[in-house]
Amino acid sequence: MATKETEAQAVAAKPASPAKPAAPPKAAAAAQEAVTRREFNWLALAWTAFTAASVAGLTATMRFMFPNVLFEPPTVFKAGLPESYKPGEVDERYKEKYGVWIVRTEDNVIYVLSTVCTHLGCPPNWLPAEQKFKCPCHGSGYYKSGINFEGPTPRPLERFKVTLADDGQLVVDKNRKFQYEKGEWKDPESFLKL
């Protein structure tokens, strides 16, 4: 029993651990208010900037996923039967959709002209009363044949390949161009003799 008493005295004789010091008044206030108004404003500004940058980056990424697509009409198309074109006239039915004029001469020759001015690429207009193509941009003029005769245009209009399909319809191929100044209008594919 003596040993138990000695142990109890030894435990009782040990000095008590010092008490934790009280928090200073500043720390107590900080514990109550974790974020000051100024800190909150800076955090709000930072998160707003981060969100805006993230949205911009995501938008750019999504824009990359959906690229611009240019839907163009086919470059080879059927243009109806040769009989549907009147001799001596310029047919404008394919000007808007395919960018071509189909011309049938009095000699029953059909050729297809481009609707793009060779000066700066503007679309000329066919003026039936004057029997000429006239570019509204800079005044270039072309005869019914496509040969330039006035204005700043450097060369005649281009022709496209024209052939007959098995069913008798005209087939226009815009992939094959013919230029007058290169002597290509003499090529049998640049016109169709009926």
Per-residue pLDDT band for 13 (boundaries 50, 70, 90) equals: low
More confident residue, 66 or 179: 179
CATH class of segment(s) 76-193: mainly beta
Q: What is the mean pLDDT of residues 4-30?
A: 58
**115 token code pair:** 């609707």
Q: Are 190 and 179 in contact (CB under 8 A)?
A: no
pLDDT in tens, 27-41: 555 555 677 888 889
Q: How many CB atoms lie within 10 A of CB 114?
A: 20
- φ/ψ of 151, rounded to 5, equals 85, -175
The per-residue b/e assignment along 41-66, b for 16 or more CB within 10 angstroms, e otherwise, is eeeeeeeeeeeeeeeeeeeeeeeeee
Q: Where are the domains of the chain?
A: 76-193
pLDDT in tens, 68-114: 777 777 889 999 999 999 999 999 999 999 999 999 999 999 999 99
Compute CA 186 distance to the chain's CA centroid, rounded to the nearest angstrom: 38
Q: Which residues contact 120 (CB under 8 A, 6 or more apart)?
A: 137, 138
